[in-house]
């Protein structure tokens, strides 16, 4: 492995941005200021790394580098493909961050790759820089002399209805707190019966396929046919839910068009995808109106993701348009709206309520993701544990990260639902993490759904092991005991 020390130019008076210890991959060569990665014979690609000292930069930054490529394959996931990426640990939260430039594929001449991200308020020092190809074949050349990092004024998401107070009908305000889980892709009556026997009173029914697959769900007639099948199953799920005393949150987990190669939902820039998304919700509303006794709500858009720039149809407007279309058909059933950035808590800092009654707002809790998702995305990652006082990972850290959601709820009298929270089965202290989350959700009076019941074994509380390869069904686990006690409203573990 070859190491090369390089010093880049100073950045806007912040101090020198220095890259040291270039680590060339096996398919990489360097001539003067150019690094060439020829991975046309490798389906896994190849990457080169360096250390970059940002010298205490904060807030928005823009990193650029010139590159050209040919025969670059199409990745199957938005986080694979052409790489121009930073990796660092947030000084405030201790969480790992992986901002990267938008992808390019196929053939392209010299162009500027652009990485825009928000470092946050805490000064950031050394970060890892990755260039190359991940899980795709191809040829790419980088002009390292063109690399630079500079402060950047980030796009500010518009805010609406800041004085609006949400009103709810009595059938919502009078019911007790609901606790449950995300259901399997194809739930059975036994699933509903078992979850109810554990104490569950709500299930999130996910209509999902091709999740995060680039350019997925573009065959519109086939997508509509698939959705009709999921709605047929929903008819049965509602019968079972009534039988066992549960509510069902109807979750359109994947929209038409899925995502682009920049991880952003295609319908934010493609009107045809957006129109079909709205039409799908009109179909659901016509078919299921009058079931507000068992339907918790129409969950409009699972984990919306809009990058920090303006688009024709924002994550907020897309949901607003769908909600308005639903209300014209079904004025009674609750609507569930999600925040940006995968409905994360920090995105509630700029979340706006709809000027509409009976809307519940959903948050997902996977903070810190390098604990909850260790070894889940992209293969191996360092083992992490919970709690970790050295990193400040404890129950109070979760409380701190949920503050934007609490503030939003208080300002708008808005009800909150936790649509997903979890920790991977092999994470040390996963049961403690779930316990801390549940205690806080109960303290705030939020409805919640664990992710996920009888679904993928990595989230399944009846599986145990130290990696995905060693996971086995064991029936009883500490995570399962915590979940059942939480579902039953008990404080003991």
Question: Can you tell me the distance from the alpha carbon of 433 to that of 451, in angstroms, rounded to the nearest whole number?
Answer: 13
Is 492 among the domain residues?
A: no
- Mean pLDDT throughout 361-389? 89
* pTM score of the predicted model: 0.89
Residue 372 and residue 234 in one domain: yes
Cis peptide bond upstream of 368, omega within 30: yes
Is 156 among the domain residues?
A: no
Residue 142 and residue 194 in one domain: no
Is 429 among the domain residues?
A: yes
Residue 131 and residue 189 in one domain: no
What's the pLDDT score for residue 169?
A: 99
What's the pLDDT score for residue 21?
A: 66
Q: Which of 91-95, 173-177, 337-341 has the lowest mean pLDDT?
A: 91-95
Residue 198 and residue 92 in one domain: no
Structural domains counted in the chain? 2
Cα–Cα distances in angstroms (integers) from residue 323 to residues 223, 272, 315, 318, 445, in the given order: 21, 18, 13, 9, 25
Q: What is the pLDDT of residues 299-353, one digit of tens each?
A: 999 999 999 899 999 999 999 999 999 999 999 999 999 999 999 999 999 999 9
Which one of 116, 151, 186 terminates a domain?
151
Q: Assign 296 to helix, strand or coil.
A: strand
- How many helices (H) and strands (E) are present in the chain, helices listed first? 11, 21
**By the 8 A CB rule, do 451 and 396 touch?**
no
Question: Can you tell me the distance from the alpha carbon of 484 to that of 179, in angstroms, rounded to the nearest whole number?
Answer: 10
As given in the structure block, the two tokens for residue 245 are 């005393």
What's the pLDDT score for residue 469?
A: 93
Residue 112 and residue 258 in one domain: no
Residue 431 and residue 348 in one domain: yes
Cα–Cα distances in angstroms (integers) from residue 213 to residues 77, 254, 278, 311, in the given order: 5, 10, 21, 20
Residue 241 and residue 115 in one domain: no
Is 160 among the domain residues?
A: no
Residue 144 and residue 192 in one domain: no
- Mean pLDDT throughout 16-43? 85
As given in the structure block, the two tokens for residue 237 are 């799920």
What's the pLDDT score for residue 378?
A: 62
As given in the structure block, the two tokens for residue 180 are 């449950």
Specify the higher pLDDT residue, 38 or 20.
38
Specify the higher pLDDT residue, 23 or 15.
23
- Mean pLDDT throughout 135-164? 95
Question: Can you tell me the distance from the alpha carbon of 375 to that of 358, in angstroms, rounded to the nearest whole number?
Answer: 39
Is 200 among the domain residues?
A: yes
* pLDDT of 18 over the 80 cut: no
**By the 8 A CB rule, do 386 and 432 touch?**
yes
What's the pLDDT score for residue 262?
A: 80
Full residue range of the structural domain in which residue 284 is found:
170-487
Domain containing residue 79: CATH number: 2.60.120.260
* pLDDT of 482 over the 60 cut: yes
What's the pLDDT score for residue 308?
A: 86
Is 165 among the domain residues?
A: no
Q: What is the pLDDT of residues 271-288, one digit of tens each?
A: 999 999 999 999 999 999
What's the pLDDT score for residue 26?
A: 94
Is 276 among the domain residues?
A: yes
Q: What is the pLDDT of residues 289-307, one digit of tens each?
A: 999 999 999 999 999 999 9
Residue 264 and residue 128 in one domain: no
Q: What is the pLDDT of residues 423-469, one digit of tens each?
A: 999 999 999 999 999 999 999 999 999 999 999 999 999 999 999 99
Which one of 96, 120, 151 terminates a domain?
151
What's the pLDDT score for residue 9?
A: 37
**By the 8 A CB rule, do 417 and 447 touch?**
yes
Q: What is the pLDDT of residues 241-256, one digit of tens each?
A: 999 999 999 999 999 9
From first CA to last CA, the distance across the chain in angstroms is 49
Residue 193 and residue 322 in one domain: yes
Domain containing residue 355: CATH number: 3.20.20.80
Mean pLDDT of the chain: 93
Q: How would you label 206-216 residue by residue, b for 16+ Cβ within 10 Å and e otherwise?
A: bbebbebebeb
Confidence grade of residue 487 (pLDDT, cut at 50, 70, 90): very high
What's the pLDDT score for residue 289?
A: 98
Is 161 among the domain residues?
A: no
Residue 297 and residue 402 in one domain: yes
- Mean pLDDT throughout 125-153? 95
Q: What is the pLDDT of residues 156-171, one digit of tens each?
A: 999 999 999 999 999 9
**By the 8 A CB rule, do 447 and 398 touch?**
no
Residue 203 and residue 291 in one domain: yes
* pLDDT of 186 over the 50 cut: yes
């Amino acid at each position: 492995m070859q190491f090369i020390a390089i010093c880049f130019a100073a950045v806007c008076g912040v101090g020198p941005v220095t890259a040291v210890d270039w680590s060339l991959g096996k398919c990489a060569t360097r001539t003067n200021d150019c690094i060439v990665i020829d991975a046309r014979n490798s389906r896994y690609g190849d990457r080169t790394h360096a250390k970059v000292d940002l010298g205490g930069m904060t807030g928005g930054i823009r990193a650029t580098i010139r590159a050209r490529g040919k025969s670059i394959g199409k990745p199957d996931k938005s986080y694979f493909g052409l790489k121009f990426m930073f990796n660092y640990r947030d000084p405030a939260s201790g969480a790992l961050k992986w901002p990267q430039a938008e992808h390019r594929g196929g053939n392209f001449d010299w162009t500027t790759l652009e990485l825009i991200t928000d470092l946050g308020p805490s000064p950031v020092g050394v970060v890892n820089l990755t260039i190359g190809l991940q899980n795709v074949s191809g040829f790419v050349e980088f002009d390292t002399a063109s690399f630079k990092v500079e402060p950047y004024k980030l796009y500010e998401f518009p805010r609406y209805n800041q004085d609006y107070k949400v009103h709810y009908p009595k059938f919502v305000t009078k019911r007790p707190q609901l606790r449950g889980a995300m259901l399997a892709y194809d739930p059975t009556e036994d699933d509903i019966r078992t979850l109810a026997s554990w104490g569950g009173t709500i299930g999130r029914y996910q209509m999902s396929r091709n999740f995060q697959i680039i350019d997925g769900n573009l065959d519109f007639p086939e997508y509509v046919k698939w959705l009709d099948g999921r709605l047929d199953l929903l008819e049965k799920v509602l019968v079972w839910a009534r039988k066992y005393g549960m509510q069902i949150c109807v979750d359109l987990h994947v929209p038409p068009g899925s995502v682009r190669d920049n991880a952003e939902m295609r319908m934010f820039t493609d009107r045809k995808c957006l129109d079909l998304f709205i039409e799908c919700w009109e179909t659901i509303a016509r078919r299921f109106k009058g079931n507000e006794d068992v339907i918790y709500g129409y969950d409009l858009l699972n984990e919306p993701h809009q990058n920090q720039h303006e688009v024709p149809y924002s994550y907020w407007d897309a949901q607003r348009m769908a909600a308005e279309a639903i209300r014209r058909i079904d004025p009674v059933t609750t609507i569930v709206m999600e925040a940006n950035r995968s409905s994360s808590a920090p995105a509630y800092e700029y979340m706006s309520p709809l000027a509409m009654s009976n809307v519940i707002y959903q948050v997902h809790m996977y903070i810190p993701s390098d604990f909850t998702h260790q070894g889940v995305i992209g293969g191996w990652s360092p083992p992490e544990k919970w709690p970790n006082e050295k990193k400040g990972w404890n129950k109070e850290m979760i409380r701190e990260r949920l503050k934007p959601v609490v503030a939003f709820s208080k300002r708008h009298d808005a009800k909150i639902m936790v649509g997903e929270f979890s920790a991977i089965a092999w994470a040390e202290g996963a049961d403690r993490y779930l316990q801390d989350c549940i205690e806080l959700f109960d303290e705030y009076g939020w409805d919640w759904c664990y992710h996920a019941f009888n679904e993928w074994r990595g989230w399944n509380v009846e599986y145990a092991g130290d990696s995905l390869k060693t996971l086995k069904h064991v029936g009883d686990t500490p995570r399962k005991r915590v979940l059942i006690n939480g579902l039953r409203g008990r404080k003991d573990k």
